Structure 1
């Protein structure tokens, strides 16, 4: 059985799930990957955080490494798909691209970044933020994401929390604050809710391993410390439109200094070697992925 065979059929979400996404800015899904993939993916997480990169290519961002980093911090790697083929087979799957494109109203979806996230027991928080606020380096400046749990998740275990309806709040004046281990991880979203004149309504993504969620790029989200005594691992894919192009005016903002390195000298096309197209309505998909 191939990895593709073991992935649950996602495709476009049901009408009810799509309506929930439109209303709340996110939707929780009970099953995104087959249970047979979970333990092998966890083993690949261990390799990546040891610095063992199967392909010989390092991820774009390595925010934690065994033996060198604070064990109390949550662990994160960005673009683990470049370093590990099993992770690539999941985050580059066409069915996730189709689902994200359908929610976003795009003609297709390309991956901008994945996140390999591991919160051991007692690991600290990730501050609330909006993904789109970091993306001035490409246009259209929007991102839609799929979050896959590799462990059963609970509110006490530091699962992702989202602010219901926050994708409709005003944009342009957000203060993101510290991402890794802030003093008060919910402070930015409380301030944003107050500025928008709305009552803050937080929802925790509580699913069994293999489940997860889709969320809008303007939805406020973050996660608290892991107080559960159990590990919490997740694999996240962040997508842009297949028609997205670099915007050089924003290269110095957000995470532009990291990803603008892939811009070509002669045009603003986003190179598919680094930002492959997962799915397109005309049937196109980056060859070889």
Structure 2
């Protein structure tokens, strides 16, 4: 029998500060919904105050050194100071469990309510957060084109919305997020089988040395790639089936740090017919329990 650590089980309820969120107006909200429906992604100019984005970005060195506020390790930690190459891209998954400032944003009820308003879901959970750090002039830091739903195919409901927040000003030279407009319409739900197979194990690095980050995309996308430039604290939203990636950070001085939050419907569950991988398999209490527990998938809206 899997036994929950009390310390881990209540991480999602620990007191953390509240970020200052600039919510979209009614008109901006409608534009976000429309763009998601037609293009598969949407941008919003300023979600976090610039100073808050700077403060979180400034914490990245400590976080990636393993200086965790809670003493709890994140689920994934790629890049070690003194071991990994300085030019290597850096990623931490589910830093909300480890760092209070990250948690204040990821667990924000205000953001959860915004996601509910965008999607129309009755309630909202966090599936995962993702810290990305690409240092200046890192030629091998491109992120290959992919769809996020590919990495969450063990849920019963494949609905997914990703919020990507830029912690540095992101322009054309420091690894802007790129989307293939309309690509969310190439596959529908879990049954498509064309992009990914339900229950398959996702493997291989998400990093690529190809200048064309969508080189592995099986569809024609000529003229459909859109690069997103946003200010510090700006953001974009995209659907789970939207193809996206980012070129390397070619800027000689500018870092590219970001926080992504992947949201799912609050009433979602594990698909008991699907084999769950090592990381998320830890959070299934038994082979017969499909429940997503708040300890690991916090309800935020």
TM-score (norm 2): 0.84
Unaligned segments of structure 1, at least 5 residues: 280-289
Matched, 1:172 2:198: no
1:6 CA displacement: 2.2
**Corresponding position of 2:261:** 237
Distance of 1:137 and 1:77 partners within structure 2: 21
* In structure 2, C-alpha distance between the alignment counterparts of 1:162 and 1:249, rounded to whole Å: 32
The aligned residue for residue 94 of structure 1 is: 109
Q: TM-score, normalised by structure 1?
A: 0.87
Question: Equivalents in 1 of 2:229, 2:36: separation in Å?
Answer: 16
Q: Secondary structure at the match of 2:164?
A: strand
Name the SS of the counterpart of 1:238 in structure 2: strand
2:92 alignment partner, SS class: strand
For 1:173 and 1:185, the matched residues in 2 are separated by 24
Determine helix, strand or coil for the equivalent of 2:217: helix
**Which is worse superposed, 107-116 or 31-40?**
31-40
Q: Secondary structure at the match of 1:97?
A: helix
For the structure 1 residues 47 and 5, does the alpha-carbon distance in structure 2 shift closer, same or farther, using more than 3 Å as the test?
closer
How far is the alpha carbon of 1:188 from its aligned partner? Answer: 4.4
Q: Which residue of 1 aligns with 2:176?
A: 159
- 1:72-151 equivalent positions in 2, closer than 5 A: 72-123=87-138, 124-151=141-168
Cα offsets for 1:35-75 (capped at 9, x unmatched) = 23122201221111111111000000001121121222211
Aligned position for 1:261: 282
SS in 2 for 1:213: strand
Structure with the larger helix share: 1
Contact 2:162/2:260, CA 8 A, preserved across alignment: yes
* 1:276 and 2:298 correspond: yes
How far residue 227 of structure 1 moved from its aligned partner, in angstroms, is 0.3
2:275 equivalent to 1:251: yes
Distance in 2, Cα, partners of 1:46 & 1:215: 28
Distance 2:24 2:107 in 1: 13
Give structure 2 stretches of 5+ with no counterpart: 1-15, 197-201
CA RMSD, 1 decimal: 2.2
> 2: CA distance between counterparts of 1:11 and 1:259?
36
Residues 144 and 240 of structure 1 are in contact (CA less than 8 Å); yes or no, is this contact kept in structure 2?
yes
Deviates most, 232-241 or 30-39: 30-39
Contact 1:131 / 1:217 at 8 angstroms: preserved in 2? yes
Kept after mapping to 1: 8 A contact 2:168/2:233: yes
The whole-number CA distance in structure 2 between the counterparts of 1:30 and 1:127 is: 25
Task: Note if contact 2:184-2:239 (Cα within 8 Å) is conserved in structure 1.
Answer: yes
